[in-house]
Structure 1
Amino acid sequence: MIGVLQMGFGPLGKQIAHYIADKKNVKTIAVVDLDPDLIGKDIGELLGKDKTGVTVSSSVDEALAKLDKKPDVAVITTVSSIKKLVGQVEAVAKHGMPIVSTCEELSYPWKENEAVSNEIDQICKKYKVACLGTGVNPGFLMDYLPSTLTSICKDVDSITVERIQDATPRRVPFQKKIGAGLNLSSFKEKEAEGTLRHVGLKESVYFLASCVGIDLDEVTEELNPVVSDNDISVPSMNIKKGDARGVEQISHGYQNGVLKIKMHFKAAIGEPRSYDKVTVKGEPSFVSEIDGGINGDIATCAITINSIKSVLKANPGLQTMSTISVPGYLS
């Protein structure tokens, strides 16, 4: 049985806990969260289930003090910013626990956050544990998956990755993160603050380029609101005509002035068609498309859990999806 410490018990952490509860060989045995409304409560009751005997603690040290045996691995679902993650990584790593995190900037951080990446890498090597940033995107659909698809290519000239999704069934924090329901003035304010965007698009570009051996000398990114043409009402919000129903981001990666990688991300309430698509130009050239797209909340929780065995076997230090053994379904 693999014992898991979960750090972060918001919507994503709770969904992961639900999925772990259905597994045969994985069990949540400790939970840490700073929310005073959660501390001391049994996670079973917080999940709408029977009591488990596992209560929410305010720190890693407090959680471990309740246990006879430390957890085998930690799952961190707290922040998107790698800079805010450092202290949390160290709090876990010093107890010898490998880490799987959904922090988007951790998925391939060396280009955008080199100094912090090196700091986390050194912390993990000091305590001899591996640390992985993963999720559906970044972590799989727009970076890891396209990199594996190029395995059949003799030559690769360029890669275009598209993730277009209807955000209506997504969890509310995600809908807010993409600006759904905001008027355009508020959208621009939050964009300027850096709190409104899909986090990790540039990380995906750099990850993919690294995997296929393309040395990019310029990476650009643009962000725009997806404006609603009519009033929209969904369970989580009402959107007026002319307000934002989501976000569209496009990133380009250039080598010597030539476009080599393009990533197009669009997530919006009421998007008519969802799909994930990879177009490779090379030898052979091909298109691979997932009609209907992949539900991001389900997939992020699943890949986080399914990566646990790979992280347990990984070398100490900061890892990526390309440097661990291939994750597979954990029954």
Structure 2
Amino acid sequence: MLKVVQFSTGNVGQHALRHVIEHPDLELVGVHASSREKIGRDAAELCGVPGATGVLATDDLEALVSLRADCVVYTSQGETRPTEALAEITAFLRAGTNVVATSLVWLINPDGADAWLREPLMAACRKGGTTMYVNGIDPGFSGDMLPFAALSLCQSATSIIVQEVFDYGTYDDAEFTGVSFGFGFTPDQDPPLMFLPGVLRSIWGGPVAHLAECLGVELDEVRERHETWVTSVPIDCTMMHVDPGQVAAVRFAVEGVKDGQPVIVMEHVNRLTQAAAPDWPYPPDGHGGVHRVVVTGRPGVEINAHVGSGDIDQNEGGVMATAAKVVNAIAAVCAAPPGMPSLRDLPIAQVHGLMR
């Protein structure tokens, strides 16, 4: 039985917390919450599990580190507060607690992350003899495990396109996702954080480079592109209200280029309700979202993956899957050598040499 701390109980964290509580091989020993109304409440109450665990939420980092758990599931928002997140994570690593995280997505391909982030974490791993693993659904699953599954069926490949095509209208996260994508912005406003030069490449360039390395392909460059769609009618949805003249859909990509052609592409098409951007790609009929990989080559493969079914829509399914991706990795991460592995180190399907 592995002892686990859950760090944060937000959109992803509450699903991770429930997963840990219900997992037969994991024992919840601590839970972190930052909001005053959550501190002191039982973990079960915070994630909708019946009964009580006896584990109460706290904002005391020292107390959680001193538990010396086997692993902490770190789902606190890190991209907007990297200095604080780095301090929290390194405290666990130095103390001998492994980390699985959905935050600091630059580390999905740790070899490609900037030194200011990678080096303190590696030093903490060496000191504590610990391992840190970052993943999720996108970036994460859609850009690593899904392409590897498709490539394992190929004799050769000439290009790989990975897409997330999602209706974000039912996602209640205007404060981060909405603002990051610029939903509700007008065309004359300054671009949102996501579309500042280099930001897209910093997030999805790592997965592009990781896939290229596994394929044994040297890319000439990694470039980014984006465009927006402005609504002519009001749109009301869970995410937000959008007035005419404001952005209600975005399309962006990071492309790995070889010989002048994009050969590895990570693309997003994200809209608020199905009415937005009618000329852009949609998921297959009946689905609100898809994570898709298309490999051209011999024989050529397309895989469409959907999360959510029944009363779970695609956005709730997406955050549940993001949480599951790292909770399910806890045992493998705890057994791994100290350091910062990527998916290929845990291990992955064999694709080296397919692209030529």
Which TM class, normalised by the smaller chain length?
Answer: 0.7 to 0.9
Per the alignment, do residues 71 and 171 of structure 1 end up closer, same or farther by CA in structure 2, a change over 3 Å counting? farther
Q: Secondary structure at the match of 2:55?
A: coil
Q: In structure 2, what is the Cα distance between the partners aligned to 1:202 and 1:126?
A: 29
Q: Secondary structure at the match of 1:170?
A: coil
Per the alignment, do residues 203 and 227 of structure 1 end up closer, same or farther by CA in structure 2, a change over 3 Å counting? farther
Q: In structure 2, what is the Cα distance between the partners aligned to 1:166 and 1:17?
A: 26
Per the alignment, do residues 283 and 235 of structure 1 end up closer, same or farther by CA in structure 2, a change over 3 Å counting? closer
1:279 matches 2:280: no
**Match for 2:297: what amino acid?**
G
Q: Secondary structure at the match of 1:14?
A: helix
Q: Secondary structure at the match of 1:44?
A: helix
Q: CA RMSD in A?
A: 2.9
In structure 1, the partner of 2:162 is 161
Contact 1:30 1:64 in 2 (8 A): no
Q: Secondary structure at the match of 1:252?
A: strand
Per the alignment, do residues 115 and 199 of structure 1 end up closer, same or farther by CA in structure 2, a change over 3 Å counting? closer
In structure 1, the partner of 2:148 is 147
**Match for 1:309: what amino acid?**
A
Q: In structure 1, what is the Cα distance between the partners aligned to 2:293 and 2:39?
A: 44
1:140-289 equivalences under 5 Å are 140-172=141-173, 173-186=176-189, 188-191=191-194, 200-271=203-274, 273=283, 274-289=289-304
Contact 1:161 1:278 in 2 (8 A): yes
Contact 1:38 1:56 in 2 (8 A): yes
Within the candidate set 268, 293, 300, 2:322 is matched to 300
Q: CA deviation at 1:64?
A: 4.7
Greater Cα offset, 20-29 or 302-311: 20-29
Q: CA deviation at 1:141?
A: 0.9
Greater Cα offset, 230-239 or 88-97: 230-239
In structure 2, the partner of 1:71 is 69
Contact 2:182 2:192 in 1 (8 A): no
Q: Secondary structure at the match of 1:188?
A: coil
Q: In structure 2, what is the Cα distance between the partners aligned to 1:180 and 1:219?
A: 26
Q: Secondary structure at the match of 2:143?
A: coil
Q: In structure 2, what is the Cα distance between the partners aligned to 1:241 and 1:231?
A: 5
Q: In structure 2, what is the Cα distance between the partners aligned to 1:198 and 1:263?
A: 10
1:80-119 equivalences under 5 Å are 80-81=78-79, 83-84=82-83, 85-103=85-103, 104-119=105-120
Q: In structure 2, what is the Cα distance between the partners aligned to 1:64 and 1:119?
A: 17
Q: Deviations over 1:205-261 (max 9, x none)?
A: 122212212122310112333323432112342122221224221111113434221
Contact 2:201 2:254 in 1 (8 A): no
Q: CA deviation at 1:267?
A: 1.5
Greater Cα offset, 95-104 or 185-194: 185-194
**Match for 2:43: what amino acid?**
I
Greater Cα offset, 308-317 or 241-250: 241-250
1:20 matches 2:38: no
Q: CA deviation at 1:320?
A: 0.8
Q: In structure 1, what is the Cα distance between the partners aligned to 2:31 and 2:306?
A: 37
Normalised to the residue count of structure 1, the TM-score between the two structures is: 0.86
Q: In structure 2, what is the Cα distance between the partners aligned to 1:291 and 1:94?
A: 38
1:123 matches 2:124: yes
Contact 1:144 1:322 in 2 (8 A): no
Q: Secondary structure at the match of 2:224?
A: strand
Q: In structure 2, what is the Cα distance between the partners aligned to 1:10 and 1:30?
A: 16
Greater Cα offset, 208-217 or 40-49: 40-49
1:36-55 equivalences under 5 Å are 36-48=36-48, 49-55=50-56
**Match for 1:96: what amino acid?**
G
Q: In structure 1, what is the Cα distance between the partners aligned to 2:62 and 2:17?
A: 20
Contact 1:170 1:297 in 2 (8 A): no
Contact 1:4 1:29 in 2 (8 A): yes
Contact 1:253 1:261 in 2 (8 A): yes
Per the alignment, do residues 320 and 243 of structure 1 end up closer, same or farther by CA in structure 2, a change over 3 Å counting? same
**Match for 2:236: what amino acid?**
S
Contact 2:9 2:46 in 1 (8 A): no
Q: CA deviation at 1:298?
A: 1.9
Per the alignment, do residues 13 and 291 of structure 1 end up closer, same or farther by CA in structure 2, a change over 3 Å counting? closer
- Percent identical pairs in the alignment equals 24
Q: In structure 2, what is the Cα distance between the partners aligned to 1:199 and 1:245?
A: 24
Q: Secondary structure at the match of 1:31?
A: strand
Greater Cα offset, 97-106 or 317-326: 317-326
